[in-house]
Amino acid sequence: MNRKCVDKLIGKYCKIVTKEPGDDKPYVVTGIVKGIDHDAGFIRVESAQGLGCLSISNIIAIKPKEKT
């Protein structure tokens, strides 16, 4: 992912589609992007389930979204 494009998403509500290795189906996480660690390859997301980390290499799509 392009570093400049991803850094613009910090603090915004986003829809993130990821697929973990070994899983058959991708899953969707919606929440606020709290931070990005480019060196370690992780994105911190605060969602309804709590604060979590997603691997950048497993992200299929990420899109800013209006919070409803």
Which sequence spans correspond to the domains of the chain? 3-64
Q: If you classify domain 3-64 with CATH, what class do you get?
A: mainly beta
pTM of the model: 0.85
pLDDT in tens, 8-61: 899 999 999 999 999 999 999 999 999 999 899 999 999 999 999 999 999 999
Q: Using alpha carbons only, give the angle 7, 24, 65 rounded to the nearest 5 degrees.
A: 30
d(CA 42, CA 55): 5
